[in-house]
Amino acid sequence: MSQERNNREISSALRAHFGRAPRVFIRTFGCQQNVSDSERMLGLLEGLDCEACCEAEGADIIIFNTCAVREHAEDRVFGNIGRLKALKSERPELLLCVGGCMVQQEHIAKKLLESYPYVDIVFNTNELGRLPSLLAERLEKNTPLDAHGCCDWSMREGLKPRREGGFRAFVPIMYGCDNFCSYCVVPLVRGRERSRNSEHIIAEFKAALGEGYRDIMLLGQNVNSYGKGLDEDINFAGLLRKLASLEGDFTLRFMTSHPKDATRELFEVMGAFPKIAPHIHLPVQSGSDRILRLMNRRYSSEGYLRLTEEARALVPGITFSSDIIVGFPGETREDFDATLRLIREVRFASLFTFIYSKREGTPAAKMPDDTAHKTKARRLAEILDIQEEIAAERENALVGSVQRALVVERLGEVLYEGRLWDNNSIALEGSGAVGEFAQAEILSRTKKRLFGRIV
Ligand code: 5AD
Ligand code: SF4
């Protein structure tokens, strides 16, 4: 790997290559962590005088930030890369870079480098800071670069994100995951858990407030274990306390919380600071203890329910959202019924439901899986129906009340899109200011959506 070079040199090399200030298109797949990584890439590239551009066709540098969590996401990436072949033969000077979780799997990196020779750089997103020198190196060597294996974590801090606008700012507080849930590829591709120093987090949080963001979301695969391995004596509850004590009118959210690491102290802090949204995304994955054991989740359905009760007692009005995997290897109708019972008992504000996807290298990939896909799809549909029933009941119960909502987008002359505490969306009529909080009287629920009036 060549030495890191100075940005000015790289910027002029790129400009000379393209004959203009390079236009960059970044396509992000997957989770908020990837969105946040892409914002950092864009920040870096703008520092090299590149301009953001919103489609591949007009771009000089095309970056795919990929996701590996389910096979479907990977197929989409390959499909998209395949479609760029024609563009690349028309304009061979174009630079096509693929990073993100997918390329951290050996078989994928190999496939990309061997079967897609028009891909210029395969890089490790953990080393975002190296992107400029990789671009320069690619221009010099004129042959595809394989930088997927490197991992120097020091290349991550100090990068200023170019937030994509919108109403929410993401602030990563940790990277990687140490949990090794048996179905999940994340620990294999994102590596071991690493917390950022609280002073870096606080500085980034303040900068986001300074840019006018009112809804700030802390990100990590398992935010509840924040602080492990740091020199400072801090845990997640402590970090929340510091952030929620900052001046300003804002809402603080976080995701994802692993139930095994959610503490009483966390709920106490959530209950004590009004700036922390009384909402927690707490993936349960399954309601069957047998499946939870096979998943290596390290809690039982009863433990999960106890946790939600503790949270309800300490955080007034708290709402929950969750992730559920249906059709984990060997999931029987009985196991699935246990999941349905849990869903009915907790009454989540929203659910993200996935059909199990086999991931190479994970322990679950070796478990016998003889449930037909059709059965899994039917189970998924059953959950969606039940969840819609619950959501309708919950949201209808809000009609007539006044709730705090963040106005996030203008939809029409006197119509806005808003977000409630629990992040559910609401259509709002009246006069509002995008990016600011408003009091909303909830008027009705139609077409699976709340409708209200700014008061
Ligand atoms: N198959 C299906 N869903 C998965 N998830 C993670 N790995 C898999 C997989 N192999 C889901 C989990 C996790 C969410 C981010 O993605 O529910 O919480
Ligand atoms: Fe994957 Fe489990 Fe880590 Fe979440 S906690 S990223 S599901 S291994």
pTM (predicted TM-score):
0.94
Distance 258 CA to ligand 1 centre (A): 13
Distance 156 CA to ligand 2 centre (A): 21
pLDDT of residue 327: 98
In the beta sheet, which residues pair with residue 404? Answer: 439
With a CB cutoff of 8 Å and minimum separation 6, the contacts of 118 are: 84, 85, 88, 89, 96
**Which ligand 1 atom sits nearest the alpha carbon of residue 324?**
17
64 close to 101: Cβ distance less than 8 angstroms: no
Report the pLDDT averaged over residues 174-191. 94
pLDDT of residue 142: 83
Q: What is the rounded distance in angstroms from the CA atom of residue 252 to the CA atom of residue 171?
A: 10
- Share the mean pLDDT of the chain: 94
Using the predicted structure, report yes or no on whether residue 4 has a pLDDT greater than 80: no
Pocket around ligand 1: residues whose beta carbon is below 6 Å from it?
69-70, 183-184, 283, 285, 323, 325, 354, 356-357, 359
Distance 326 CA to ligand 1 centre (A): 10
R_g of the chain, CA atoms, integer Å: 23
First CA to last CA distance, the chain = 59
Distance 6 CA to ligand 2 centre (A): 37
pLDDT of residue 167: 85
Of 138, 106, 118, 114, nearest in space to 17 by CA? 138
Give the pLDDT confidence of 384-405 residue by residue, as tens digits.
Answer: 999 999 999 999 999 999 999 9
Report the pLDDT averaged over residues 281-304. 98
Pocket around ligand 2: residues whose beta carbon is below 6 Å from it?
177, 179-181, 184, 186-187, 221-222, 258
Strand, coil or helix: what is 398?
Answer: coil
**Which ligand 1 atom sits nearest the alpha carbon of residue 31?**
15
**Which ligand 1 atom sits nearest the alpha carbon of residue 184?**
7
pLDDT of residue 148: 87
- Highest average pLDDT, of 126-140, 213-227, 418-432, comes from 213-227
Confidence of residue 176 (pLDDT cuts 50, 70, 90): very high
Strand, coil or helix: what is 123?
Answer: strand
Distance 69 CA to ligand 1 centre (A): 6
pLDDT of residue 424: 87
Using the predicted structure, report yes or no on whether residue 3 has a pLDDT greater than 60: no
Q: Following DSSP, what letter does each residue of 169-230 receive, concatenated? A: EEEE-EE------TT--HHHHH-S-EEPPHHHHHHHHHHHHHTT--EEEEE-TTGGGTTTT-
Confidence of residue 2 (pLDDT cuts 50, 70, 90): very low
Using the predicted structure, report yes or no on whether residue 1 has a pLDDT greater than 80: no
Distance 297 CA to ligand 2 centre (A): 9
Angle between helices 373-396 and 333-346 (to 10 degrees): 10
Q: What is the rounded distance in angstroms from the CA atom of residue 279 to the CA atom of residue 256?
A: 12
Confidence of residue 125 (pLDDT cuts 50, 70, 90): confident
116 close to 150: Cβ distance less than 8 angstroms: no
Q: What percent of the chain has pLDDT over 70?
A: 97
pLDDT of residue 155: 62
In the beta sheet, which residues pair with residue 27? Answer: 64
Q: Which of 34, 70, 181 to mutate to test the pocket of ligand 2 (most atoms within 8 A of CB)?
A: 181
4 close to 133: Cβ distance less than 8 angstroms: yes
Q: What is the rounded distance in angstroms from the CA atom of residue 200 to the CA atom of residue 216?
A: 15
Q: What percent of the chain has pLDDT over 90?
A: 88
Report the pLDDT averaged over residues 327-352. 98
Q: Work out the number of other CB atoms within 10 angstroms of the CB of residue 103.
A: 30
Residue nearest to atom 17 of ligand 1 (CA): 323
Give the pLDDT confidence of 17-76 residue by residue, as tens digits.
Answer: 999 999 999 999 999 999 999 999 999 999 999 999 999 999 999 999 999 999 998 999
Q: What is the rounded distance in angstroms from the CA atom of residue 371 to the CA atom of residue 419?
A: 38
Distance 429 CA to ligand 1 centre (A): 37
Q: Which of 325, 339, 343 to mutate to test the pocket of ligand 1 (most atoms within 8 A of CB)?
A: 325
- Cα→Cα distances 229→42, 61, 323, 347, 439, Å: 29, 37, 28, 36, 42
pLDDT of residue 7: 87
**Which ligand 2 atom sits nearest the alpha carbon of residue 180?**
8
Report the pLDDT averaged over residues 254-272. 97
Distance 348 CA to ligand 1 centre (A): 18
Per-residue tokens: 146: 């394989």
357 close to 178: Cβ distance less than 8 angstroms: no
Q: Please list, residue by residue across 141-163, b when 16 or more beta carbons sit within 10 angstroms of its beta carbon and e when fewer do.
A: eeebbbbbeeeeeebbeebebbb
